Amino acid sequence: MRGYDAFADAITTLNLLPVFGNPGTTELTSLKSLDDYVLTLFDGLSVGMADGLSQFTFSPHLVNLHTILGLGNSMSYIYSAKMNYSPVVVTAGQQDLRHISMDPLLSGDLLGFIGNNVKYKHELKNASEISSVLTRAIKESMTPPIGPVFVSIPMNLMDEDFSYSPPVPPVADFEFSNNEAVDAVADLIKASKNPALVFGWEIDLFNAFEEAERVSEKLGCPVFGETLAHRAPFNTESQMFAGNLLPGTTLINLKLLRNDLVVFIGGDVILYPYLPSPLLEGKKVVFVGLNISPKVGEFYKANVRSFLKGLEGKITKKCNFSRPTDFQMTTKIANEKERMGVTYVMSKVRKQFSDFVIVDEAISSSPIVRDVLGYSPRRYFFSKSGQLGWGSPAASGISMKEDKVLAIVGEGSFMYSLQILWTIKKYSLPVKFLILRNGGYSILKSYSLSYSPGVEKKDYLSFDLPTEKFAESFGIDSMVAGKELEELKWLKEGKESKLLVVDVDRSIPKLFL
């Protein structure tokens, strides 16, 4: 069998289709026997689509990039897949090895270039490696900590004729229980006076929402969401939910001031910006999870669902927390209507899109998106890397498996991945876009007010973009919303992609101390 036939058969057998990519001459030979290919007009967008789809389906998906140049164009997306713990299998063509010593055009050290942004990397030495290397790549991508992998494919190997053995799809097993962890944490809780729970993204990954609620209710202790959770950490409808932790040491310390024990389950701590307060100093801190790397406290490795099932039978009530009713929210929403504050806008969005998957790249408005729309299973996705331009392709990838997807994106972020609209139109993807237009990089202006006063007035942080016209140029129906936001009903209707621009309040939010 020829290398290109083996490659097509292997990725089909390993359930890696469709292929996302933007090919070049070094990849064409490997694609001879492949038809199930989703084209993006910028290399990185293919990684973003695969990232979103891999997270949503909890399964690997394959990307095909154009040698070292396509890899370079995609590095921020690959880094995001790493930070999002997404099992993306990245491939790229390499120049013909028969003249590689001459440093031909489109050649380069692909393995060195991608560096530590992937868990596993390998350049094929001969075509007979195709099955074994792709199988190992999948295994590595799905072994905690989950993450992207990379395979370099020299173009001349695809024409090799060899005896092919098809791969056997590997089976990932995450049922990793840890009785030691259960007993140790149960003892810590018994000895504490006022414990708090912090749940993270692995609650969503392993669908441990019911277990998390039962444990929190039995303890009677407040539950917080981890800082910058990129997936839902808890059911926010629960009265045990006390809000999200913000990514600053001082803010975290203040929120957990009265708690002597803090148990992080399935999550970690991401900090930004620097604040001088030591994190949770003087408190007992413990982490439990499979895909986390805590920098403080004790750490126990365990599947969070199995851990919570075991913990439930070993704890008793310690607190009497119940989230108080927020009587100020209704007033806040009403007060923001005239100036189109984001809280008002999100309150309207919640009424129309409560059953949609939300992909959040609102950046400066993300805290409000989280607080107002809330969390539920497989209904919230965000990039933990801080990358701009991730949300639109990630939402598009998810929409290949889910009809109801809403991407909430700032107009500045949207410009990083505008070409995704072509892919959406070509493949009739049903993703909806809500663009929050605030006239510039609001988060940079907010940061400037706190740490670099005066820079927020620079003209290069402000712009006026006719986003709705950009969408129309790609054949995507678009509108600009009015004050009553009646257009949200239009946005929700139908299976076709649509884009709605909302001109929100342009005052600079207070996001930093």
Residues 6+ apart with CB under 8 A from 18: 36, 37, 38, 61, 400
* pLDDT for residue 150: 98
Residue percentage of the chain with pLDDT more than 90: 97
Helix (H) and strand (E) counts for the chain? 20, 18
pLDDT higher than threshold 90 for residue 327: no
- In the three-class reduction of DSSP (H, G, I as helix; E, B as strand; rest coil), residue 298 is classed as strand
* pLDDT for residue 317: 96
Averaged pLDDT for residues 375-393: 97
Strands annotated E in 120-240: 121-123, 149-154, 195-199, 223-225
User: How far apart (Å, rounded) are the C-alpha atoms in residues 410 and 405?
Assistant: 16
User: How far apart (Å, rounded) are the C-alpha atoms in residues 52 and 136?
Assistant: 22
User: How far apart (Å, rounded) are the C-alpha atoms in residues 58 and 60?
Assistant: 7
pLDDT higher than threshold 90 for residue 256: yes
* pLDDT for residue 239: 96
Average pLDDT, the chain: 97
pLDDT higher than threshold 90 for residue 412: yes
pLDDT one-digit tens code per residue, 81-99: 999 999 999 999 999 999 9
Please state the pTM of the whole predicted model.
0.97
* pLDDT for residue 383: 98
- In the three-class reduction of DSSP (H, G, I as helix; E, B as strand; rest coil), residue 88 is classed as strand
Tell me the chain's radius of gyration from C-alpha atoms: 24
Residue percentage of the chain with pLDDT more than 70: 100
* pLDDT for residue 68: 97
pLDDT higher than threshold 90 for residue 177: no
Which CATH class for the 3-159 domain?
A: alpha beta
pLDDT higher than threshold 90 for residue 357: yes
In the structure encoding, which two tokens stand for residue 376, read together? 């539920």
pLDDT higher than threshold 90 for residue 238: yes
Which CATH class for the 179-312 domain?
A: alpha beta
pLDDT one-digit tens code per residue, 94-113: 999 999 999 999 999 999 99
Residues 6+ apart with CB under 8 A from 102: none
Of residues 295, 306, 446, the one with CA closest to residue 363 = 446
User: Please, what is the angle between helix 304-312 and helix 209-219, to 10°?
Assistant: 30
pLDDT one-digit tens code per residue, 21-54: 999 999 999 999 999 999 999 999 999 999 999 9
pLDDT one-digit tens code per residue, 360-383: 999 999 999 999 999 999 999 999
State CA 183 to chain mean position distance.
Answer: 32
- Residue pair 385/337 in contact by the 8 Å Cβ criterion: no
Backbone dihedral region for residue 108 (phi beyond 0: left; psi -120 to 50: alpha; all else: beta): left
Per-residue DSSP letter, 246: P
User: How far apart (Å, rounded) are the C-alpha atoms in residues 129 and 110?
Assistant: 18
Q: How far is CA 208 from CA 296, 304, 376, in A?
A: 24, 7, 11
* pLDDT for residue 175: 84
pLDDT one-digit tens code per residue, 220-235: 999 999 999 999 999 9
* pLDDT for residue 173: 87
* Per-domain residue ranges of the chain: 3-159, 179-312, 328-503
Averaged pLDDT for residues 391-417: 98
- In the three-class reduction of DSSP (H, G, I as helix; E, B as strand; rest coil), residue 199 is classed as strand
* pLDDT for residue 326: 87
* pLDDT for residue 84: 98
User: Which region among 138-142, 210-214, 293-297, 378-382 has the lowest average model confidence (pLDDT)?
Assistant: 293-297
pLDDT higher than threshold 90 for residue 341: yes
Averaged pLDDT for residues 302-319: 97
Token look-up 């919570």 returns 308
What homologous superfamily does CATH list for 328-503? Answer: Thiamin diphosphate (ThDP)-binding fold, Pyr/PP domains (3.40.50.970)
pLDDT higher than threshold 90 for residue 296: yes
179-312 against 328-503: fold identical: yes
pLDDT one-digit tens code per residue, 118-128: 999 999 999 99
pLDDT higher than threshold 90 for residue 489: yes
Residue 116 CB-density burial (10 A; 0-12 exposed, 13-18 middle, 19+ buried) = exposed
* pLDDT for residue 252: 98
